[in-house]
Every structure is written in structure tokens, then in C-alpha cells.
Amino acid sequence: MRGAVPTQVVIAGAGIAGLETMLALEALAGSKVSVTIVAPEGTFVLRAATVGTPFGHGEAPSHDIAPIVAAHGAHLVRGSIAAVDRDERSAITTDGERLLYDALVIAVGASTEPAFAAAATFTGADGTRVITDLIADMEAGRVESVAFVVPPGVTWSLPLYELALMTAAHLELQGVEGAVHVVTPEPQPLGLLGEEVTAHVVDALAAAGIALIAGAEVRDVDHAGRIIGRAGTIAQVERVIALPRLRGPAIPGLPRDDDGFIPIDVHGHVPGRRGVYAIGDAAAGLLKHGGLGAQQAEGVAHEIAQRAGALVTVSTPRPVVRAQLMEGAASTFLRAPLSARTGAAGSVVSAEALWWPPLKVAAPRLARELGGSAS
């Protein structure tokens, strides 16, 4: 009888997308699925919240993964996926263990690399030091100008605007004079999220006295602080801080694009791999954003649950970006329905939370599990 043997689900990764998938599967399918989580780290850190740490917003929330997984009836394997065997339908770990699957969800995220050798790189939890060093140097008068740079190919630039706005707010609060620039290849800041969001960011930068240089594709940064574009020098400052470039996991046995990301269709299916899905930053896609990964997780969980015999429906995904923009003492909440072809229409900018619980990343099941920590 269908459903007598649980559907074997292997989830690679215990970040936002992976944990959201696990929680959704328990809620939707219960005992109809048996879930194994493969994770190299023992701790979940809300990396999106690290942007506020250098400015006194506290450490990013972190939680032990093992008790979360155990509390929801899943099995935890410490390690990473080294390869996928399509014929055997198994995921092979770095320790050589073969995990047979009916459904495999790749949610391992992406790796980072510096975009420019002469710029400091903000990567989140392990990159906050570059901001604390900058603040100390500006307060001491050793640095009087800084540029925050979005490298070409980076699709989610919001953290860089947060860094610039919070730096400017901190300098003003401390009575320190300094020039703050933002350099981005985007024609308009966060233009994919619609006119309302762009207008808010432009106004916030102007009110903070931040010089915005948009539509500028940076080719390189030299050790003299020159920011170099196609036509020459874009600006020159004493310190440059850039977001990293991302690289996909490039897992043997799975297709990949030139940067290692896994191609998927609108439902997260990996082409030519029955029962295999990729979600979150590991998947090829328009934006690398945790909230979108959580939405992909929900859709994939519905499909797996339905195939396991649960009475759930599967609908066409309609992605919506929900983001919190930290600007200093205040935050602004942004919401924008997203279309890969047209960008956002009907976006919303609000001083009040637009989702609940108001976790820095809108992942509703995970936020409830973690107690709704906002930052």
C-alpha cells in the first residue's frame, strides 16, 4: 500500500533553505517521509544579521543544529555531499557513506571569493572584522574616505547598502567627518525590487550624505584606492570594501553552469535527475537571497509530500522578495513580487514589519522554530 514505506528524503545543507525544507516536510507529510540532513557544520548562524554586528546590533543569532533536527524526527549526518550517483540514486558523503534517496534536495549554499585583491571583502560572520577595522580607522582619523563596491555579477546587493548607511549613521553619531561612497553596476539601487524600493534607497543614501555612483561596472581596485571601470578611474578613496563573488557547489554527478551553480526549472527540479532538487544559493537563479530560498523550500516540500502520498497541492511558484534594510537606528521593511523578466511591480516600503515573526530573513517556519529572533 502506498505510504507504508516512508519516502526517503536526503537534504544536503542545514542553512535557511535546508532547515525550512525539513520543517515543511514534517508539517505536510509527517511519517510519510523519512528525512536525513547532511551538514558540515554543527551550528546554524543567521548570516544576514551579521551586517549589524559591527554597529552594536549584537551577534547574529546562532543555534545548534542537532537538537533542531532531532526534535523534528530527522536524522543528522555530519559531512558534505561529495558526489551524486544518478543510477544508484544515492548521495555520497565526504566520508564515503552512500545515502539512498527517493528525493534529494541540494541546499548547500554557495562559497565566496574576493572580487578584488586590493579591496577588503565583507562576507558576513567571518567578515565583520573589516567593518570594525574601518570604523576604528575612521574614528582615529587614519581613513577619511571609503567606498562600498558591488562587484559585477553580484545579484543581491542589499547588504552593501546597509553597510554604507550604518557606517554613515555611526560616523554622524560620533561626530566624525568622512566621505562614504557606494559604487554599483545597477542602473538604480535594488532596481529589481521596483520603483518604490529604489526611490527609498536613493533618498536614504542622499539623506545620509552618501555619494551614489550607479551604472558603474568595476573592473579592478588598486592598492592606491583607485576604483577602475571600463573607461578609467571611477573614484579614488582610502579604503574599499566589496561584497564577495559567489561560486556554486559544482557537485560531481549534477549539472552545473560555468560558475558551478546547479540549473533548475521553476519548481526546483534539476534537469535529467529524477527526484533531485536544488534550492537557495546553490541553484542557478536571479537573486541569491535567503527569503527566496525559503520559498523554494516550501514549494519543493509540497511536491515531495504529495509524491509521498500526503493530501497537499502543488502550485506554480510566485516568488516575493521580503527584506529588511538596516539603516542605522531604524530599519525599513521591503516587499516586492518578483518576475525574472520584468522585475518587481507593486513593491511596498514600510517602517513596520511586513512578515511575522520578523526574522532578518523571511523564513516563516524557521522563524517560529527559532523563536522569531529579529536580529
Query: How much is the pLDDT for 375?
Result: 34
363 forms bridges with which residues in the sheet?
none
Give the ranges where the chain is alpha helix by DSSP (H): 16-29, 65-71, 129-139, 158-174, 195-207, 290-307, 364-369
Cell of 109: 549554499
- For residue 132, what pLDDT is reported? 96
Cell of 167: 557606517
Sheet holding 98-100, edge to edge: 81-85, 90-93, 98-100
Residue 296 and residue 229: Cα distance in Å, rounded?
A: 36
Catalogue all structural domains in the chain, each as residue range(s) with its CATH number. 7-110+248-317 (3.50.50.60), 113-244 (3.50.50.60)
Give 239-261 pLDDT, tens digit per residue.
999 999 999 999 999 999 999 99
195-207 helix and 158-174 helix, angle to the nearest 10 degrees: 30
Mean pLDDT (the chain) is: 94
Q: In this predicted model, what pLDDT tens digit does every residue of 47-102 receive, in sequence order?
A: 999 999 999 998 888 999 999 999 999 999 999 999 999 999 999 999 999 999 99
Angstrom distance (rounded) from CA 142 to CA 129: 17
Q: Quote the pLDDT of residue 1.
A: 39
Q: How confident is the model at residue 374 (pLDDT cuts 50, 70, 90)?
A: very low
CA–CA dist 334, 314 (Å, integer):
27
Proportion of the chain above pLDDT 90, given as a percent: 89
Give the residue with greater pLDDT, 36 vs 345: 36
Peptide bond into 357 cis (omega under 30): yes
127 vs 275, residue with greater confidence: 275
Query: Contact 11/107 with Cβ under 8 angstroms?
Result: yes
For residue 318, with 0-12 CB atoms within 10 Å meaning exposed, 13-18 middle and 19 or more buried, which class applies? exposed
Contact indicator for 43, 13 with CB cutoff of 8 Å: no
pLDDT band, very low/low/confident/very high, at 358 (cuts 50, 70, 90) = confident
Q: Give the residue-averaged pLDDT of 123-150.
A: 93
C-alpha closest to that of 200 among 329, 322, 292, 334: 334
pTM of this structure: 0.94
CB of 316 within 8 A of CB of 333? no
H or E segment and range at residue 113? strand 111-113
H/E run at residue 45: strand 43-45
Mean pLDDT of 227-238: 97
Q: Are strands 75-78 and 90-93 parallel, antiparallel or unpaired?
A: unpaired
pLDDT score of 346: 82
DSSP code string of 82-108: EEEETTTTEEEETT--EEE-SEEEE--
Q: How far apart are CA 14 and CA 40, in angstroms?
A: 8
pLDDT at 297: 98
Ramachandran angles phi, psi of 130, nearest 5° = -65, -30
The three cell numbers of residue 12 are 544536503
Instruction: Please determine, for residue 342, whether its predicted confidence score (pLDDT) is greater than 70.
Output: no
Question: Which pLDDT belongs to residue 103?
Answer: 98
The pLDDT, as a whole number, for residue 371 is: 83
